[in-house]
Amino acid sequence: MKAAAEPISPGQYFWLIMVAVVAGSVYLWPAYVVGLAGSGGYVSLWIATGVAAGVAAIQVSWMRRMVYRPYAVAMKDTWSPALGTVLAWITMALMMALDVVILYLYGELLQTFFYPATPSWVTIGAIGGLAVWIAIRSLAVVARNVQLWFPLLLASFVVVLALSAGDMRFPSAAAPNLAEPVSSMARASVATWFLYANPCAAATLLPYVRRGKRSSSGKLAVAAMALQGIILTTILFSALATLGPMPIANMTWPIIYVFSVVQVRTFFVQDVGMLILITWTVAMILHLGVHMFVVSWNVGPPLGGVNPQRQYLVAGIGLAIVLGALAIGSVAEAKVWLFQVLTPLDLAWTVILVPATALTAWWRTRGRRSAA
Amino acid sequence: MRWRALACLLLGLVLLAGCWDQMDISDRATVLMLSVVWKAPGRLDWTFYFPNPTVTVNSQSQIRSTQQLYAVGVAAGTLAGAERAAQRQLDRHLYLGQLQVLLWSSNLPAAAAGELLDAYNRQGIASKVAYVGLAPASALSHLLQASPQEVVPRLKWQHVFSCAACESMRLSEPLWHVWDDAHTPGMSPVAPYINSHGELGQIAVYGRQGPPVLFSRRQTLGWALLTGRATREVLTVSRGAQHYTLTAVHGSAATRVAWSGGQLWVDARMALSGTLAEAPYGTAERPAEIRTIEAATARLLVADCKAAIDQANARRVDPFGYARALLFGHPQWLKHGSSIKWSALPVHAAITVSFNVTTPGVTS
């Protein structure tokens, strides 16, 4: 199987970045943030979105300076071969750890709302397996799948969101509250970061965009973050207007609750809101698939172009994520790991490493012209 | 490679489609209604109503209404205990995903009702859009008999609650509204009350503790007007010995809520209208006459609204959500003023009703 070769288009790059953030973990939004900051969550969300867009912009400019070499190679060239490898590996490990928790929680959500009689290892294993199946393909195949499915998922999501408009009882509760204390908004911003915690997909995939389109594609990574921010804002509005801030803080998965009460009497199928099950499962598979793809490219042996062993590496990564997810004991434990350990850790790592890498690269390559 | 891919795809289709988890519909005991009667603390009587599985499309028209539902009654302290006890009496899997109506006795105290709603709401597959209602304990089992007007799986109370054209006031509440209200500071949960004759026209409001507060029909009308839920109420206004009947009384309420001097102030302005349906024989509908009827109706409705507010103040409940509206505007007050019992605040209300009588009659 060819591992590199066929380049992707800027549009495909945009959809890949969209699916690499938010798409897998959106189902957890916005319970924790509303619990911390109430309707001040909008501010927290846009701070996190701004940080994500900034990180993406820095990574893109660093990639341009590194002449669009593969991420792992660029890290080695920026730092030293040993240090670059270690830093890249830690970044990948954090990404995988977050995927572990997110996959576990999604399996629990499926069991709670849809498959009460099915053990959660079945759904977790099936989603992990399908993500591996996608990730062992070449980048162009993954990109084409994401390009086909993700806009459709987005459209179905918008339909369900629009149908839930009739249940919005408290528009006044959904107005942004700017009087929230800065400390709680800051904590809520940190707790929002898990949605954007993909420190390297934007940089990893950029070198594979068609030659000549790369510098313009960098802007698309920032645009993808902004679009996800807009989607998350509408979800936050919908949850606040439907349930009000206090009940949301008591819930694990408020948005699935909002969708589960959508009833359309004129259709043959009443519970149209359950369409979201398909949307989120496909989004989760694509999200994990892209992440596994990114990790396998960045931790694998240096890629001159072809790496036939990559599929075994992907399978190993997938197995590690699934086994990790199965090792988590409870939803409460997973939430502590996600919100209090991994998310702050990943945020700190990202906002230190990414600018530091870009500055080091700039220092080392100063005087040279950056590539187009 | 192609075969491996195909195998993966097939496996994924089977696993992700949930086919292996599917249970035949004839293996499920689908609960359509659930009634809960409170006997004593920790002692409740639960009755699960199922559609009779022998009813088929062909037999529907012949089967008697008394045979359309079958009921399983158990005594248990909790919902989970009741489900287990009922399951022991069944040869099918008890399933709450299609519940349409949940009725409980009007003596169920606030804490027990909150526990019941929480326990139900915790179950992911249980239907959150089931309608809730309260009724006298003695009348519940009688009220839940299948109606001759309906053939299962259609149920009388599901239809009553979902029929927008049947209600003169919008009283019906799905379960998730009541649960949501119960968890929102500044709001007392409201549910419709069915009296022992099976009539719907009153509300029951839960305070912080004890059994719910019943609102009379008049107070309920006041509540419905203040919350914009009157849709087609019928009123009779008397002027001396003359009676005028107005139909389709409805309208909207614009409410402003303010917090001043440690008190909750409400300014409710309602623009209502109704159709003059009956007037004393031989009365000519002159503009001056109409204006007098309008003024008399407005006075009557202001009194109804005041009656609702007085009842709420006397029993320390807020079924209007006035304190909630205030808190939505100032969410930070919740954190700093947590000692205030927001849903038990007395309300100082200024009520203004402007009434417009329309006379689209065939005769005038």
Q: Please report, for chain B, the start and end positions of each structural domain, with discontinuous segments joined by +.
A: 22-182, 228-358
Query: Is residue A176 over pLDDT 50?
Result: yes
Which three-class secondary structure state does DSSP give residue A32? Answer: helix
Distances (CA, A) of A305 to A7, A66, A204, A311: 12, 18, 14, 14
DSSP string for B179-239: HHHHTSTT---EEEEE-TTS-EEEEEE--SSSSPEEPPHHHHHHHHHHTT-BSSEEEEEEE
- Count Cβ–Cβ pairs < 8 Å, chain A vs chain B: 79
Q: What is residue A3's predicted lDDT score, i.e. its pLDDT?
A: 43
Torsion of CA A299, A302, A303, A304, to 10 degrees: 170
A304 has a pLDDT exceeding 60: no
Q: In this complex, is the C-beta atom of B217 within 8 Å of any C-beta atom belonging to chain A?
A: no
pLDDT per residue as tens digits for the range A194-214 = 999 876 888 999 988 998 888
**C-alpha distances in Å from residue A234, one per residue of A2, A164, A355, B263:** 40, 12, 31, 35
- ipTM, two decimals, is 0.87
Asked whether B275 and B293 are in contact (CB, 8 A), the reply is no
Helix H or strand E segment including A205:
helix A201-205
| Mean pLDDT along residues A19-32 | 89
The total number of structural domains in chain A stands at: 1
B185 and chain A: CB distance < 8 Å anywhere? Answer: yes
Q: What is the pLDDT of residue B240?
A: 82
Shortest distance between the Cα of A76 and any Cα of chain B, in A, equals 35
Q: How far apart are CA B30 and CA B96, in angstroms?
A: 6
Substitution target in B162, B328, B333 with the highest count of A β-carbons within 10 Å is: B328
Cα distance from B322 to chain A (closest Cα, Å)?
Answer: 12
Hey, how many other C-beta atoms are within 10 angstroms of the C-beta on A161? 20
B355 touches chain A (CB under 8 A): no
Contacts of A181 in chain B (CB under 8 A): 332
pLDDT of A150 > 80? The answer is yes
B357 residue type, one letter:
V
Look at A281-290, B136-145, B217-226, B243-252 and tell me which has the smallest mean pLDDT. Answer: B136-145
For residue B270, give the H/E element and its range.
Answer: strand B263-278
Give the model's pLDDT for residue A266: 58
**pLDDT of res. B339:** 63
pLDDT at A1 (0 to 100)? 39
pLDDT at B14: 72
The contacts of residue A170 (CB under 8 Å, 6+ apart) are: A240, A241, A242, A244, B328
pLDDT digits (tens, 9 = 90+) for B131-156: 999 999 998 888 887 777 777 777 88
Higher-confidence residue of B336 and A11: namely A11
Residue B180 forms contact with A (CB below 8 Å): yes
User: Domain with A319 in it: what CATH number?
Assistant: 1.20.1740.10
Asked if B176 lies within 8 A of A261 by C-beta distance, the reply is yes
Contact B185 A246 (CB under 8 A): yes
Output the pLDDT for position B60. 62
Under an 8 A CB cutoff, do A129 and B325 touch? no
SS3 state at B79: helix
Residue A31 has pLDDT above 50, yes or no: yes
| Domain annotation covers residue A76 | yes
Task: Give the pLDDT band (50/70/90) at residue B43.
Answer: very high
Question: Residue B12: its chain A contacts at CB < 8 A?
Answer: 126, 129-130, 133
b/e string for B245-264 if b means 16 or more Cβ within 10 A? ebeebbbebebebebeeeeb
Query: B180 and A243: CB-CB below 8 Å?
Result: yes
Helix residue ranges per DSSP H, chain B: 2-16, 79-88, 110-122, 140-143, 156-162, 175-182, 217-226, 287-314, 322-329, 332-336
Q: What is the pLDDT of residue A2?
A: 40
Token code pair at residue B72: 């399983």
Give me the residue label for tokens 């070198």: A207
Residue B149, pLDDT score: 72
Q: Is any Cβ of chain A less than 8 angstroms from the Cβ of B22?
A: no
Beta strands in B10-162 (DSSP E): 28-30, 33-40, 43-51, 69-76, 93-95, 101-105, 131-135
pLDDT, position A260: 86
Confidence label for B61 from pLDDT (cuts 50, 70 and 90): low
Q: What is the DSSP letter of A337?
A: I
Give the pLDDT score at A192: 92
pLDDT tens-digit profile of B310-339?
A: 999 999 999 999 999 998 888 878 776 566
Tokens in use for B348?
């100082």
Closest-approach residue (CA) in chain A for B183: A247
User: What pTM did the predictor assign?
Assistant: 0.90
**Average of per-residue pLDDT across B223-234:** 93
Strand, helix or coil for residue B23: coil
What mean pLDDT, rounded, does chain B reach?
87
CB B146 within 8 A of CB B155: yes
Q: Closest CB to A261: pick one of B18, B128, B325.
A: B128
DSSP type of residue A176: -
Q: What is the CATH number of domain B228-358?
A: 3.30.300.210
pLDDT at B33 over 90: yes
* Helices of type H across B201-336: 217-226, 287-314, 322-329, 332-336
Asked if B21 reaches chain A (Cβ–Cβ under 8 Å), the answer is: yes
- Do the chains contact at A114 and B8, CB–CB below 8 Å? no
Identify residues of A whose CB sits under 8 angstroms from chain B CBs. 1, 38-40, 111-118, 122-123, 125-127, 129-130, 133, 169-170, 172-173, 175, 177, 179-181, 243-247, 250, 257, 260-261, 263, 281
Average pLDDT over chain A reads 88
Question: Region B32-47: what's the mean pLDDT?
Answer: 93
More confident residue, A281 or B153: A281
Q: What mean pLDDT is predicted for residues A231-238?
A: 94
Tell me, what's the pLDDT at A309?
A: 80
- Taking residues B256-263, report their average pLDDT: 89
Q: pLDDT-based confidence at A229, cuts 50/70/90?
A: very high
Q: Under an 8 A CB cutoff, do B18 and A114 touch?
A: yes
User: Would the CB atoms of B124 and A113 count as touching at under 8 Å?
Assistant: yes
Q: Supply the range of the domain harboring residue A342.
A: 10-365
**B24 Cβ under 8 Å from any chain A Cβ:** no
A130 and B8: CB-CB below 8 Å? yes
d(CA B233, CA B246): 8
User: Which position has the higher pLDDT, B99 or B262?
Assistant: B99
Sign of the torsion formed by the C-alpha atoms of B143, B145, B148 and B151: positive
Q: Determine the average pLDDT of the residues in B264-284.
A: 88
Contact A127, A106 (CB under 8 A): yes
Report pLDDT digits (tens) over A347-372.
999 999 999 999 999 998 886 655 44
Chain B positions touching A257 (Cβ under 8 A) are 128, 176
Tell whether B128 is within 8 A of chain A (Cβ): yes
Nearest to B8 among A127, A129, A181 (CB): A129
Q: Do A246 and B334 touch (CB under 8 A)?
A: yes
More confident: B145 or A323: A323
Give a yes or no: residue A247 inside a domain.
yes
